[in-house]
Every structure is written in structure tokens, then in C-alpha cells.
Structure 1
Amino acid sequence: MRSILIPALAASLLSAGVAVAAPAGDPSGTWLTEDGRAKIRIEKCGPGAAHACGKVVWLKTPLNDQGQPRTDIKNPDPKKRSRPVIGLTLMEGLKPEDGAYKGQIYNAEEGKLYDVSVSRESASELAISGCMLKILCGSQTWTKAPDEFAQVAPAPAGAAPAKAKPTAVKPAAN
């Protein structure tokens, strides 16, 4: 399974040097994909926050060949093809089951959904296993990334940079 798990387009519990224990199997945190091309933040979501969801927060190559932000170009729904990959939710409603979180993952590189199982290997490793039709399967190990890390989608080429507001300088009081 070459790239079912968020490669270039898909595409954390250590913070400030302090380890924080997570419940067994809890996938919450920010994770670097095995190929190093994306970081995915997984958080609790859904009713009563019993489920987990994951979205792209960083791409190694955030711009395409035309200097524009990468978009969900392979999405089977033409209306969704212009949405940016950074900020794209790839996993929704992962449910705890048998020591893992199970559900579906979207691969933006192929525009396809796969069944997925997400489980903690350790405080710094997350095991991702995905299958299509229960016969084409593969797995990856994602590693912990700082939770505070996030990438802002770059401005489109030709967009004017934001201007800083001037600050008034007051004369010193005598």
C-alpha cells in the first residue's frame, strides 16, 4: 500500500519538554507521517468527545508547482477540489474499539477513503493500519511532533503581504 496514509498531499503529547500521559490507546496529539511529508493533529471530537478526528496542520511542501497552496485536487467531488490540504480533516469519527481507534481515513493524494485502525505504540509512536476492501492493506508508524506546531496556509502568489499598522511614538514626559 504505497501511500494510503497522507503522503505529500495528505497527508503529540510532549510539550515544552514535559511528558504528559495519555489514556491507553488515545491517539491525541500531533504526528509526523512516516514519510515526513505531513503532520496530522488528532483530537477528541464528536458527541461527548468519545471519538477522534485528525486534520493536516503542516506539509513539508505546502505549495504546488505554480506556487499556490496545495489543494484536494484528486477529490472525487469537483466542488471540493479547490479546498486547501492544510486544515483538511482526514479522519473523522474514529471510535475506540479493541484498544485502538477505528474508522476511515481520507487519502488526498488519491481522493479515496480507507478503513483505518489507529493505536498508540508508545508515547512517541502511533501505529496506523489501513485497508481497502479488506484485502489491500498496509501500515505506517507516525512519530510525535510538538503539539504547538502548526503551519498557516501560505497566501496565494501575487497576494499583497499584510501591512503592519504604524505605532505612534509619544514624546517622553518631563
Structure 2
Amino acid sequence: MARLVSFGARMSRSTRRLIILLALVSTLMFYLHQSKKSDLEYEPDYEVPDFAAIHGKQVSELSDSSDSFESFSEIRSMLLKSPVVIFSKSYCPHSKFVKTLLSDRYKMDPPPLIKELDHDSHGQALQDALETITGRRTVPNVFVGGKSLGGGDEMRLLHGQNNLETAFQTGAGKRFTITKVTDH
């Protein structure tokens, strides 16, 4: 300990300040990286298939552009980022119903990722890929744990039968929580 004190005493004041500053910056960078990592990287405990590999032969039939193939990867990426993903169109009344139902009547952690297809330059290609994946072209298309649970009618039915919470919790994995908000 005496050696450490004598070593510190021999350093100039500016050198000590620089060392302290570097230590603070290193610590700050570590915490910022951890915070960013936890916000952006949800590690799912459910399986999301590689849609592009599964539907590879059908992709070329969807469109002459390369957007279709990339759409499968983009959809898979979204499903890996969040346990609940809602493909929607901002003007669609059924989409509005589902988004309102889920936001007003349920608390979800993490919150659902909402993809407004009409606000995305690749919205048409994404919708084509969703039809290939699920057989459903309409919106909303609600995915839980990487699988489509349906659209407005299915969400209305699950909610009406008090099964929505269970269906979401079962499909979305252990790191996801959903609770029904009680009426006041």
C-alpha cells in the first residue's frame, strides 16, 4: 500500500486527472453499451423459423424484385426483436381496434412492436411475404412468439372469452409478461 501511495504521489496532478477521467469514460461507455444492448436485443425463448429458406421457391413467384426475399428476413428480424408484433395499416379500422384493445386493456412487457405497412416503402412486399407465411393477406396480423395468432376477429374472440392473456403468455415465452388492466 505504501508503494501505491508513493507512486501516486510521484504522478503529476494532470496525469492523475487524466487517469480518473479515462476511468470514468470507460465506465460510462460500458454502461451505455449494456443499456443499448438490453433495449435493442431481446433474446427470445421461442423459435422463429427461417421463412426465406422455407418459402424460398415461392419467393420468386411473388415479385420480380428482390424485395420479396428480403421481406422474409425483415419479418423474421422483427419477430426476433419482440415477442409480440402487430402488422397493421394506420387507416384500417380492424387494426385500430386491435391496437386500442391491446394498449388500453392490457399491459405488456416488452410492449408490442407495431409495423405500419402503409408507412413502409416495402409495405407491399412485406404484405406479400406475410400472405405466403400465414395464408393471411389482411391486417392486422398479430404475431406472438413468432407465430400468427390471427387478426381482428381472433383478437376480439380471445379477449371476449378471457383467453387473450393466456394465449399471449403461452406463445411469447417466459421473458414476456401480460396483465389485463382492470376497469376503474
Indicate whether the TM-score tops 0.5.
Answer: no
TM-score range, shorter chain: under 0.3
- Structure with a larger share of its residues in helix: 2
Larger Rg: 2
- Structure with a larger share of its residues in strand: 1
